[in-house]
Amino acid sequence: MMKKSGILRRHHGTETLEEGSFLDLGAMQFEDEAGALAGARGAVRLAEIIRFEDLHEVSKFAYSGDVVLLDVTSISNDQVAMKRMSIDLKNIAKDTGGDVAGIAKNLVCITPAGIRIDRQKYRPSF
């Protein structure tokens, strides 16, 4: 974890960081944040799959209605584990009425009912 290495300064009512310092976004609280999260139906979860057996624990999030992003880097070279995981994820998506798709080389997304994964990559023109 990174420590703040600078001094937080206040200038005309706004806070700024000195060069070389870090701001811990996880520790920040925003107005109305608690109220907005209290009414949320689900969450976006990020899970790392170290071995195939980890999928059982992670699947609980999907069954509870959360969007789950799975980092499968650790097992991506094991074709048997990847095939088993693919079958299990398809079954979870079918059970929940959701969707599952690979969204990057080592990242898989599973969504609950009512949320579809668009397989077309959006490329804005600049």
* 84/70 Cα distance (integer angstroms): 15
Distances (CA, A) of 8 to 13, 19, 28, 31, 85: 12, 10, 14, 20, 46
What CATH architecture applies to the domain 42-111? 2-Layer Sandwich (3.30)
Using DSSP, state whether 9 is helix, strand or coil: strand
* 22/51 Cα distance (integer angstroms): 34
List the domain boundaries for the chain.
42-111
pLDDT, mean of each 10-residue run, the chain (126 residues): 47 57 68 59 91 92 94 94 94 94 94 91 82
Question: pTM for the complete prediction?
Answer: 0.66
Residue whose C-alpha is closest to residue 55's, from 78, 76, 86, 77: 86
